[in-house]
Amino acid sequence: MATQNEGPNFSGVAAAAFDKFALVMLDTNGKFAKTTGVAGEDINVLATAQEAASAADEVKELRALNCVASAKVVAAVNNITVGQTLYTAASGRASNASTSGTAVGIAKQASSAAGDIIEMFPRPSRDDADVT
């Protein structure tokens, strides 16, 4: 049965463990997995995790990137500056390296250490043309 979600937050089933605020993508089984940072693999990034998943098949709250003004993400590196384009990176993190996966947003805050939680403005749309 088809369902519809009106808000920015929705429930999703974890494909494996992921951290709170990880960038997550829809896998071929309809579950959510953390992004890999590999170009071409992260084109289905849809949300940030609002809570951590410790194992597969846990139902967790996710926040859709296409209907929010901003979202929190985990920085992959320590040198993100305000205004830089952010890309998917390994372990569901966000990086300023354009050699990473798919562009997902613009940094609203800087990072001073890998693992920092920073705020970003999501990109309004992502499609195959965004894959680097």
Q: Is the residue at 108 inside a domain?
A: yes
Domain housing 75: 9-123
DSSP 28-45: TTS-EEE----TTT-TTE
What Å distances lie between residue 47 and 1, 25, 75, 112, CA to CA?
22, 7, 15, 24
Q: Is the residue at 36 inside a domain?
A: yes
Q: Is the residue at 49 inside a domain?
A: yes
CA angle at residue 126 from 100 to 103, to 5 degrees? 25
Along the 132 residues of the chain, how does pLDDT read in single tens digits? 666 777 789 999 999 999 999 999 988 898 999 999 887 778 788 899 999 999 999 999 999 988 878 999 999 999 999 999 999 999 999 999 877 688 999 999 999 999 999 999 998 655 544 444
Q: Is the residue at 130 inside a domain?
A: no
Q: Is the residue at 19 inside a domain?
A: yes
| All residues at 6 or more sequence positions from 15 whose CB lies less than 8 Å from its CB, including other chains | 27, 29, 31, 32, 33, 56
Q: How many domains does the chain have?
A: 1
Rounded Cα–Cα distance for residues 3 and 22 (Å): 24
Q: Is the residue at 15 inside a domain?
A: yes
Q: Is the residue at 55 inside a domain?
A: yes
Q: What dihedral angle (degrees, nearest 10) is formed by the CA atoms of 48, 62, 42, 104?
A: -40
Tell me the pTM.
Answer: 0.81
Q: Is the residue at 3 inside a domain?
A: no
Rounded Cα–Cα distance for residues 26 and 42 (Å): 9
